[in-house]
Amino acid sequence: MSDNKLRSIDGATVELLDKAQKENISTVFARADEIKPCPIGVEESCCKICAMGPCRMPRSKKGEEKVRHGVCGATIETVVARNFARKIAAGTASHSDHAREVVETFIKAAKGEAQGFTIKDEVKLLEVALDFGIEIEGRPAKDIAIELGEKAMLEFGKQSGELVYIKKAPLKRQEIWRKQGVVPRGIDREVVEIMHRTHMGVDQDYEHLIQQATRTALADGWGGSMISTDLQDIMFGTPVPTVGTINLGVLKPDQVNIIVHGHEPLLPELLATASRDPEIKAMAEKVGAKGVNLAGMCCSANEVLMRHGIPCAGNFLQQELALVTGAVDLMTVDVQCEMQGLQGVAECYHTKLITTSDRAKIEGATHIEFHAKTGLDTAKKILKMAIENYPNRRHEIYIPNYSQDIVAGFSHETINYLLGGIFRASYRPLNDNIINGRIRGVAGVVGCNNVRTQHDSAHIAMIKELIKNDVIVLTTGCAAMACGKVGLLTPEAAREYAGAGLLEVCETVGIPPVLHMGACVDNSRILVAATAMVKEGGLGDDISDLPAAGAAPEWMSEKALAIGQYFVASGVYTIFGTTWPTVGSERVTRHLFEELEETYKGKWAFEMDPIKGAQMMIAHIDKKRKALGLEKARERVLFDMAMRRAMA
């Protein structure tokens, strides 16, 4: 057995890792072996925000709590909370800067100034316009869209008041936020304020720092991310269940392979359209290829998969390995989660790496900037470059034979429709099935891959344990792709892996036990779905009353921390795996893991073992069921199933 089987549970990844090793190509896996995490940094017991340090304050080996502070006197609590808050600021900034780009393009699209973009979903346009208090009666869609874009843009720079979407949350939740003083004023303001408050000698009270981190994270979930999701849906169409394929086997040896990698679906949308152009196909044939094969990677993949059925090549840890196939003629990257190592791998083959955002260049890569006004021309130019590069293939192609069918694209609107039907779209059937116990509860399992743990394994172990116990799983990001690769995103998976109650519901409705809800900005869809469940009635009057929990077992990105914090602040019990960034301070960790529950009725937890993590989520779900008086219903359902089996 190759050692690489210890690094990933995915066969395609293992085969290409073997190949990379044989060819002496540096990948994230090899670099992780060379670089051990800094033991002080890993617990965040290090302060480097001024030039009197860096101050290193590791925990005492013997466990006794010695007084630990930096040169300026900052306590370890301040240092750890400060580091945590800065990560949340970075995560929020990332999702929200993505949102800003979307809003800018949206305004241009509404004005007819964005090449190739229009308003596709007018129903959603009206819904979101109403959220923003925009008059819709008798107005043309174009005017409504322009006003919506302009109002959405104001959300970033607002200096006072409240973000518009805060009002979408259950009333009880809004009250909690107002009482705690964490309702975001403007998205950018909250991020900037963290940067200020964590400067040397400003905010030096860990609870106060975490409070601002919470306000910032809420500006992500109920601000930037939600704006991205909604405006992307209006421009590109709200996702509906779409059949696709996933894993590196989607690459084609005899076609021009192009991978779109990153997060903003703007250029990828245009590439998807342009790649179907007969002129492009003819060009490909001229160089001896059978056509153009567009595939996605990371969250860009989720976006084009959900809306166009474009195949998904893989998740975060597979990005360099895609190039190791020797079959990728061109890869575009925009923002977030694109390893600089890609360029080194690209140079070992013939692959062209193209950076496309004005905010991100990679040394050595070709930069072709996307601008809405000329987007379609840019997309065509990139496709032509890929085609011209096809004859330059100089290595033997090796594409592992792994690809799996999936169903993706369960937006909140679709779940509503699927469960309730077109004439009475609602969450009633979901709530009823939770109340009657067929579905025990709902879990959101999301987030990244992390090379410090076996690729995809924690996602899959956790999710299988949850669905076996009748917990329906909502998933996004790289977690969703991990599920896809092992076949969990098909309706048939229910028969193989789901508990009897969940199976019954999945079979009746025709859905998989794990619902792919999109990219990481689409975690906002989970917030909206949770709110819809509350509003439907019968499961309490706040998100924290729902039998629900969240997890990111393989997280690595700062964005994941922002997501976790807004879920906690929205009342969700949230478990992270792999590593935890506040272990340097017991008091900060206690604050996040215990004390936050008193105010927000949600809290953090950390568990390395994904099965144990799943069991903690199930225990929490059962606690919530009990509080709602539902524990008896479930016992009855289980008894019924046992009886049915006995009779069979």
* DSSP string of 234-290, one letter each residue: HHH-----EEEEESGGGS-TTSEEEEEESS--HHHHHHHHHTT-HHHHHHHHHTT-S
One residue of 47, 89, 107, 299 binding ligand XCC per CB under 6 A? 299
* Shortest Å distance, C-beta 517 to ligand XCC: 12
Q: Tell me: does residue 298 bind ligand XCC (CB under 6 A).
A: yes
Query: Is residue 114 part of the contact set for ligand XCC (CB under 6 A)?
Result: no
Residue 444 touches ligand XCC, criterion: CB under 6 A: no
Task: Rule CB under 6 A: say whether 447 interacts with ligand XCC.
Answer: yes
513-542 residues in contact with ligand XCC (CB under 6 A) are 520
Instruction: Establish if 559 lies at the interface with ligand XCC (CB under 6 A).
Output: yes
Candidates 84, 206, 222, 316: give the one binding ligand XCC (CB under 6 A): 316
User: Looking at beta carbons only, is 129 or 520 nearer to ligand XCC?
Assistant: 520
Q: Which two tokens stand for residue 228?
A: 């991205």
Identity of the amino acid at 59: R
Contacts of 286 (CB under 8 A, 6+ apart): none
3-state secondary structure of 357: strand
459 binds ligand XCC (CB under 6 A): no
Binding of ligand XCC by 576 (CB under 6 A): no
Q: Which of 70, 221, 375, 477 binds ligand XCC (CB under 6 A)?
A: 477
CB of 156 to ligand XCC, least distance (A): 21
Identify whether the C-beta of residue 463 lies closer than 8 Å to the C-beta of residue 445. Answer: yes
- What is residue 567's DSSP assignment? H
Query: Site for ligand XCC (CB under 6 A): which residue of 557, 570, 578, 582?
Result: 557
Residue 547 interacts with ligand XCC (CB under 6 A): yes or no = no
Q: Helices 141-157 & 122-131, crossing angle to 10 degrees?
A: 50
Cβ count near 569 (within 10 Å): 27
Site for ligand XCC in 1-30 (CB under 6 A): none
> Is 341 an interacting residue with respect to ligand XCC (CB under 6 A)?
no
> Closer CB to ligand XCC, residue 222 or residue 600?
222
**DSSP-based helix, strand, coil % in the chain, nearest 5:** 55, 10, 35
Distances (CA, A) of 341 to 195, 365, 386, 412, 442: 29, 11, 20, 36, 37
Q: Site for ligand XCC (CB under 6 A): which residue of 306, 337, 445, 562?
A: 337
- Binding residues for ligand XCC restricted to 257-296, rule: CB under 6 A: 263
Residue 164: CB minimum distance to ligand XCC, A: 24
Do residues 234 and 124 lie in contact, with contact meaning Cβ atoms separated by under 8 Å?
yes
CA pseudo-torsion sign 42, 43, 49, 52: negative
> Does residue 166 belong to the site contacting ligand XCC (CB under 6 A)?
no
User: With respect to ligand XCC, which residue has the nearer C-beta, 295 or 448?
Assistant: 448
Q: In the numeric block, which tokens belong to residue 407?
A: 């169903």
Residue type, 538: G
From the CB of 626, what's the least distance to ligand XCC, in Å? 33
CB of 477 to ligand XCC, least distance (A): 3
List residues near ligand XCC by CB under 6 A. Answer: 263, 298-299, 316, 337, 447-448, 477-478, 520, 557, 559
